């Protein structure tokens, strides 16, 4: 009995017909609709990922340039609030560079209390960026924070 049903189904499926049935057209439209509907969200996700990757790449370049610039400047003596180093200008207004220098103990790398500097500073560089080129201050987010040390020589 099952063999007969399979044969008749296969025969009906493969018969020579001149047109398409309503069910075949509806199924084809559903498949096309699903394919077309899934493309824009995928493209948006890819573009957002590329934008984030580009922001991180620019932040890494800015951090590297800033560290080289700080290392080339003379040692700035001072306590926690006083060491100051110039900042490299950011390429666009979408990025902000923040440089913090804090004197630390040479053996433990812990911060020194105010009014002390033993010739080694922890330099922290943070690059901030506006999310997706927005200029709203609430959209400002840290893209990269890097620490290194500067020694008086």
Q: How far is CA 87 from the centre of its chain?
A: 23
- pLDDT exceeds 90 at position 134: no
pLDDT band at 126 (very low <50, low <70, confident <90, very high): very high
> Do 105 and 118 contact (CB within 8 A), yes or no?
yes
* Residue 125 in tokens: 């560089």
pLDDT band at 5 (very low <50, low <70, confident <90, very high): low
Phi, psi for residue 102 in degrees, rounded to 5 = -135, 120
**Residue range 57-80: average pLDDT?**
86
**CA 21 vs CA 14, 24, 26, 118: distances in Å:** 13, 5, 9, 87
pLDDT band at 135 (very low <50, low <70, confident <90, very high): low
Return the pLDDT at 101.
Answer: 86
Is the whole model's pTM more than 0.85, yes or no? no
Place of tokens 């990269």: 144
**Residue range 72-99: average pLDDT?**
77
- At a CB cut-off of 8 Å and minimum separation 6, what does 145 contact? 124, 125, 126, 127
Place of tokens 């922890």: 122
Would you state the torsion angle of the CA atoms of residues 84, 63, 147, 122, taken in this order, to the nearest 10 degrees?
A: -20
Comparing 2 with 139, the larger pLDDT belongs to: 139
> Do 130 and 139 contact (CB within 8 A), yes or no?
yes
Q: Return the ∠ at Cα 68 (arms to 104 and 151), rounded to 5°.
A: 30
Report d(CA 95, CA 141) in Å as an integer: 10
pLDDT band at 75 (very low <50, low <70, confident <90, very high): confident
Comparing 15 with 146, the larger pLDDT belongs to: 146
> Do 68 and 99 contact (CB within 8 A), yes or no?
no
């Amino acid at each position: 009995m099952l063999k007969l049903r399979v044969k008749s189904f296969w025969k009906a499926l493969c018969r020579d017909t001149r047109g398409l049935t309503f069910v075949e057209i509806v199924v084809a439209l559903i498949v096309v609709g699903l394919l077309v509907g899934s493309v824009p969200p995928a493209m948006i996700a890819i573009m957002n990922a590329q934008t984030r990757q580009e922001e991180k790449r620019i932040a890494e370049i800015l951090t590297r340039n800033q560290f080289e610039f700080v290392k080339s400047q003379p040692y700035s003596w001072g306590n926690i609030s006083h060491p100051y180093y110039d900042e490299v200008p950011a390429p666009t207004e979408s990025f902000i560079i923040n440089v913090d220098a804090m004197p630390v103990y040479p053996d433990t790398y812990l911060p020194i209390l105010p009014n002390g500097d033993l010739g080694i500073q922890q330099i922290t560089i943070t690059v901030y960026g506006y999310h997706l080129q927005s200029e709203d201050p609430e959209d400002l987010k840290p893209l990269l924070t890097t620490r290194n040390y500067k020694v008086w020589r």
